[in-house]
């Protein structure tokens, strides 16, 4: 038996023994994920057990080095772990912005002390992070941000406003972009800084979305004093002062990679099961075809595109592991994933017809199809709009000229 086959056998046995039955529901949505953090309460005993067992194996962050709480797996081993996890429809034991965004950026840019503190906290599910990038005047044009950060000797003084900060109200720490030089060209005066959301001067206000719900906040930063250092060589700033744009971009590539490989397409709202679902709801005609030819065609097309997309995630991941990473191609996955995600719930709404448009007396229920359908409109906006992904693909992948 080769080493990889041996690893697969071991992983399969481990998952079989350790993943509770309740965590094998395959329906992986934002609502039933384990997010961790100081305010986190497990939704069930099974979720807690699953998290703790995975943690003890380093499987909350399988490819991170063991010293930071990972399992130190190779890319190939991680793929096997993921395949075997998906084969039994198991949820991820822990899922948050720290794992998918900040972690990789810290691995690339952090000092040993920063890594030791923050990566370990993420791996152990102790600290939940939020992303302080966007501002009212700096969305797609992120580098236009104006939140001001002044050097006050032993601390930084921060003033400004962030917007769209997902889950700011329930997060422990923030990774934030601030301006440390207003005179430099806009990309060269930005600094990447980390601070505790419990620091005095921070207030958050929820933003209600068209779905009626609000995991998002406006974040106001009013004379926030951030210590320069959280211990020896553990600065609040990651990378160099005024050179935070490099860190920010690195993180965005990971964010888009994560968004582009996310699983909303695989759950029950995804296109994969739409045909069967529609056949049950609508019925078949005498020749065995779905009794709504136009809808049938749209479903087939979505399933076909979804299939090709999933293969592309697999191929690009294999290519990235064999070469130099995903790079700007993550924008292709991000774009494709957001369009498919939207189409999935749009079609589901069509299949269910008016039934799906009925909401309860208390409004749109969180986690309902209507809620997901409305929320999914945001996929092609958050993490950079589709148009911005197109700009990136044109310039970074295709090398087309600028105006």
Partner 1 sequence: MLLILNEEQEMLQDAARGFLAEKAPVAAFRKIRDSKPADGFCRELWLEMAQMGWAGIIVEEEHGGSGFGYVGAGVLAEQMGRNLTASPFFSTSVLGATAIQQFGTEKQKEENLAAISSGESLFALAVDEGPRHNPGRITFSAEPSGNGFTLSGAKTFVADGHVADRLIIAARTSGEEGDTHGITLFLVDADAPEIVRERTPMVDSRNAANIVVDGLEVTGDAILGELDGGYGALEGILSAGRAVLSAEMSGSAQQVFGVTTDYLKEREQFGQKIGSFQGLQHRAAHLATEIEMMKSAVLKSLKDLDADFDNAGMTCSLAKAKTGQVAQLATKEAIQMHGGIGVTDEYDVGLYFKRVHVAQQMFGDAGFHSDRWARNSGF
Ligand X SMILES: Cc1cc2nc3c(=O)[nH]c(=O)nc-3n(C[C@H](O)[C@H](O)[C@H](O)COP(=O)(O)OP(=O)(O)OC[C@H]3O[C@@H](n4cnc5c(N)ncnc54)[C@H](O)[C@@H]3O)c2cc1C
Task: Give catalytic residues, as residue numbers.
Answer: 255
Whether 274 contacts 299, CB under 8 Å: yes
Beta strands in 133-239 (DSSP E): 148-151, 155-166, 173-179, 190-196, 202-207, 216-227, 237-238
Pick between residue 185 and residue 288 the one whose CB is nearest to partner 1. Answer: 288
166 binds ligand X (CB under 6 A): yes
Of 370-399, binders to ligand X (CB under 6 A) are 378, 381-385, 387-388, 391
What is the spatial distance between Cα 53 and Cα 7, in angstroms, rounded to a whole number? 18
Residue among 239, 242, 302 at smallest CA distance from 269: 302
Candidate list 94, 101, 336, 378; residue touching partner 1; CB under 8 A: 336
Question: Which residue is listed with tokens 């000797």?
Answer: 153
Residue among 239, 311, 302 at smallest CA distance from 271: 302
Residue 165 binding: pick among ligand X, partner 1, none (C-beta 5-8 Å cut-off by kind): ligand X
Residue 339 Cβ vs partner 1, minimum distance, rounded to whole Å: 9
322 binds partner 1 (CB under 8 A): yes
Residue 172 binding: pick among ligand X, partner 1, none (C-beta 5-8 Å cut-off by kind): none
Of 92-151, binders to ligand X (CB under 6 A) are 131-134, 139-140
HSE toward the beta carbon, residue 394, CA cutoff 13 A: 10
b vs e for 289-327, b when ≥16 Cβ sit within 10 Å of the residue's Cβ? ebebeebbebbeebbebbeebbebbeebbeebeeeeebe
Residue 376 Cβ vs partner 1, minimum distance, rounded to whole Å: 19
324 binds partner 1 (CB under 8 A): no
Residue 139 Cβ vs partner 1, minimum distance, rounded to whole Å: 17
What is the spatial distance between Cα 90 and Cα 83, in angstroms, rounded to a whole number? 10
Residue 368 Cβ vs ligand X, minimum distance, rounded to whole Å: 17
The DSSP annotation for 266-323 comes to TSTTSGGGHHHHHHHHH-B-TTSSBS-HHHHHHHHHHHHHHHHHHHHHHHHHHHHHHT
Residue among 219, 226, 254, 220 at smallest CA distance from 241: 226
- From residue 351 to residue 390, what is the string marking binding to partner 1 with x (rule CB under 8 A)? ------------------------------------x-xx
3-state secondary structure of 23: helix
The DSSP annotation for 365-387 comes to PTTSHHHHHHHGGGGGTTTS-HH
Residue 384 binding: pick among partner 1, ligand X, none (C-beta 5-8 Å cut-off by kind): ligand X
Pick between residue 57 and residue 186 the one whose CB is nearest to ligand X. Answer: 186
Pick between residue 166 and residue 310 the one whose CB is nearest to ligand X. Answer: 166
7 binds partner 1 (CB under 8 A): no
Residue 283 Cβ vs partner 1, minimum distance, rounded to whole Å: 10
Provide the phi-psi class of 130: left if phi over 0, else alpha when psi is between -120 and 50, else beta.
Answer: beta
Largest CA distance in the chain: 79
Residue 214 Cβ vs partner 1, minimum distance, rounded to whole Å: 31
327 binds partner 1 (CB under 8 A): no
140 binds partner 1 (CB under 8 A): no
Pick between residue 168 and residue 349 the one whose CB is nearest to partner 1. Answer: 349
Helices (H), 33-127: 45-57, 75-87, 97, 103-109, 112-114, 120-123
Residue 388 binding: pick among partner 1, ligand X, none (C-beta 5-8 Å cut-off by kind): ligand X
Pick between residue 155 and residue 342 the one whose CB is nearest to ligand X. Answer: 342
What is the spatial distance between Cα 152 and Cα 296, in angstroms, rounded to a whole number? 64
- From residue 266 to residue 305, what is the string marking binding to partner 1 with x (rule CB under 8 A)? ---------xx-xx----x---xxx-----xx-xxx-xxx
Give residues in contact with ligand X (CB under 6 A).
131-134, 139-140, 164-166, 216, 378, 381-385, 387-388, 391
Residue numbers of the site for partner 1 (CB under 8 A)? 275-276, 278-279, 284, 288-290, 296-297, 299-301, 303-305, 307-309, 311-312, 314-316, 318-319, 322, 329, 332, 335-336, 387, 389-391, 393-394, 397-403
């Amino acid at each position: 038996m080769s080493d990889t086959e041996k690893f697969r056998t071991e992983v399969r046995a481990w998952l079989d023994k350790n993943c509770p039955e309740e965590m094998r529901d395959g329906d992986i949505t934002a609502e039933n994920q384990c997010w961790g953090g100081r305010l986190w309460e497990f939704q069930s005993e099974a979720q807690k057990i699953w998290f703790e067992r995975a943690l003890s194996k380093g499987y909350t962050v399988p490819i991170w080095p063991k010293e930071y709480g990972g399992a130190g797996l190779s890319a190939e081993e991680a793929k096997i772990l993921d395949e075997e996890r998906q084969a039994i429809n198991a949820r991820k034991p822990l899922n948050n912005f720290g794992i998918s965004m900040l972690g990789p950026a810290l691995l690339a840019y952090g000092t040993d002390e920063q890594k030791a503190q923050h990566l370990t906290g993420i791996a152990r599910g102790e600290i939940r992070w939020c992303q302080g990038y966007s501002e009212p005047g700096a969305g797609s044009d992120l580098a236009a941000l104006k939140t001001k950060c002044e050097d006050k000797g032993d601390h930084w003084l921060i003033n400004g406003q962030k917007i769209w900060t997902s889950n700011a109200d329930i997060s422990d720490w923030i990774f934030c972009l601030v301006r440390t030089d207003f005179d430099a060209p806009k990309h060269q005066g930005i600094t990447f800084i980390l601070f505790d959301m419990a620091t005095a001067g921070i207030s958050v206000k929820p933003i209600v979305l068209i779905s009626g719900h609000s995991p998002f906040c406006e974040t106001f930063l009013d004379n926030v004093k951030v210590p320069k250092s959280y211990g020896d060589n553990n600065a609040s700033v990651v990378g160099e002062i005024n050179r935070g744009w490099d860190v920010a971009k690195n993180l965005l590539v990971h964010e888009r990679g994560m968004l582009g490989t996310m699983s909303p397409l695989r759950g029950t709202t995804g296109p994969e099961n739409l045909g069967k679902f529609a056949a049950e709801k609508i019925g078949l005609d005498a020749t065995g075809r779905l009794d709504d030819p136009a809808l049938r065609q749209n479903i087939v097309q979505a399933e076909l595109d979804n299939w090709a997309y999933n293969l592309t995630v697999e191929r690009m991941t294999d290519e990235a592991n064999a070469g130099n990473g995903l790079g700007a191609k993550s924008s292709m996955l991000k774009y494709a994933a957001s369009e498919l995600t939207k189409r999935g719930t749009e079609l589901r709404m069509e299949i269910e017809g008016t039934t799906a448009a009925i909401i309860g007396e208390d409004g749109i229920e969180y986690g309902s199809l209507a809620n997901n359908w409305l929320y999914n409109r945001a996929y092609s906006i958050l993490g950079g709009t589709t148009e911005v992904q197109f700009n990136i693909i044109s310039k970074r992948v295709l090398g087309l000229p600028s105006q």
